Amino acid sequence: MGPTVDAPSCALPSRPYRLADRAVSPSGTTVTVGDVTFGGSHVVVMAGPCAVESRDQLLQTARAVRAAGARVLRGGAFKPRTSPYDFQGLGRDALELLAEARAETGLLIVTEVMDSLDVELVARYADILQIGSRNMSAYRLLERAAGTGKPILLKRGFQSTIREWLLSAEYILAHGNSRVLLCERGIRTFDAEFTRNTLDLNAVPVLKQETHLPVIVDPSHGTGRADLVPTMARAAVAAGADGLLIEVHCDPASALCDGKQSISTEAFGSLMGELRRLGPFLGRAVA
Ligand SMILES: [Mn+2]
């Protein structure tokens, strides 16, 4: 007999994201906000403009997405733009308009908080706080947002691995806030000729194994192209996503932000019809 060698362990390597670990809740966690539940039998659709631009723009879009079956209205008040000369958002005025749209339509509000200094302000208006892709690793911001007790939509950093993303979620969970939604929104790859980002749908089944948290897909930023959004939205639902985040504008050609990837209210209505028909084949209802 030669020297003894330890047999390779077949056990999974221990996961560093202790609270996000699927083992904590093997059947998955649901996150309930108002009358909307993420992670259950329904695929929840969140829709609206990239940025709140005006009262008319927001209300017109909100009414249309509500009529088509969306449950949550998205709309940026504080916009992290690549150029400091681009439209930066209407700030507090946008939050007031979002509140007005909620009062009229009954839609819940998801909007981004970009800076620790704005957390309390945004939390006074939002039903769900969004942490944007650029801020996924802003750990103090994550903790401040977690401390509000509001549900957090955590977008994946466009240059972040799934492990890094789950560890960012762990910051929120470890700070005592268990209501985290993970949102895949595309990552930067070598091929940006035809698409703005590469939508990583691999992440959906990977996350379903690794974590109990609900998984959302954003096909708008994931592709950067309105014409690709319906296809990738259907693909996301087929892959097992618990929700979708879609940019919709009442007049995409005039949008101040992300017009190329924003679908019209009419296209959104058609997409919702397709998703509703597709859902039963996948064991999900779409709402
Ligand atoms: Mn956008």
- Is the residue at 186 inside a domain? yes
- pLDDT band of residue 177 (cuts 50, 70, 90) is very high
- Is the residue at 224 inside a domain? yes
Please tell me the predicted confidence (pLDDT) of residue 15: 87
Gap from CA of 229 to ligand 1 centroid (Å)? 13
85 has a pLDDT exceeding 90:
yes
What is the tally of structural domains in the chain? 1
- Is the residue at 32 inside a domain? no
Can you tell me the mean pLDDT for 54-74?
A: 98
Gap from CA of 50 to ligand 1 centroid (Å)? 4
Gap from CA of 262 to ligand 1 centroid (Å)? 8
Gap from CA of 5 to ligand 1 centroid (Å)? 54
Gap from CA of 247 to ligand 1 centroid (Å)? 7
Gap from CA of 87 to ligand 1 centroid (Å)? 12
Q: What predicted TM-score, i.e. pTM, was given to this entire model?
A: 0.94
CB atoms within 5 A of ion ligand 1 belong to 50, 258
- Is the residue at 57 inside a domain? yes
Gap from CA of 164 to ligand 1 centroid (Å)? 22
Asked if residues 110 and 153 have their Cβ atoms less than 8 Å apart, the reply is yes
Please tell me the predicted confidence (pLDDT) of residue 18: 95
- Is the residue at 250 inside a domain? yes
Please tell me the predicted confidence (pLDDT) of residue 14: 72
| Bridge partner residues of 153 (DSSP) | 130, 181
Tens of pLDDT, residues 92-118: 999 999 999 999 999 999 999 999 999
- Is the residue at 6 inside a domain? no
87 has a pLDDT exceeding 50:
yes
Which CATH number belongs to the domain containing residue 144 in this structure?
A: 3.20.20.70
Q: Which residue, among 163, 168, 103, 119, has the nearest Cα to 139 in the 3D structure?
A: 168
- pLDDT band of residue 13 (cuts 50, 70, 90) is low
Separation of alpha carbons 179 and 151, rounded Å: 5
Containing structural domain, residue 135 = 44-286
- Is the residue at 35 inside a domain? no
Summary mean pLDDT of the chain: 95
78 has a pLDDT exceeding 50:
yes
Gap from CA of 22 to ligand 1 centroid (Å)? 30
1 has a pLDDT exceeding 50:
no
- Is the residue at 227 inside a domain? yes
Gap from CA of 101 to ligand 1 centroid (Å)? 19
Gap from CA of 68 to ligand 1 centroid (Å)? 21
Tens of pLDDT, residues 133-157: 999 999 999 999 999 999 999 999 9
Q: Residue 236 is encoded by which pair of tokens?
A: 């996301």
Token look-up 């330890």 returns 6
233 has a pLDDT exceeding 90:
yes
Gap from CA of 132 to ligand 1 centroid (Å)? 10
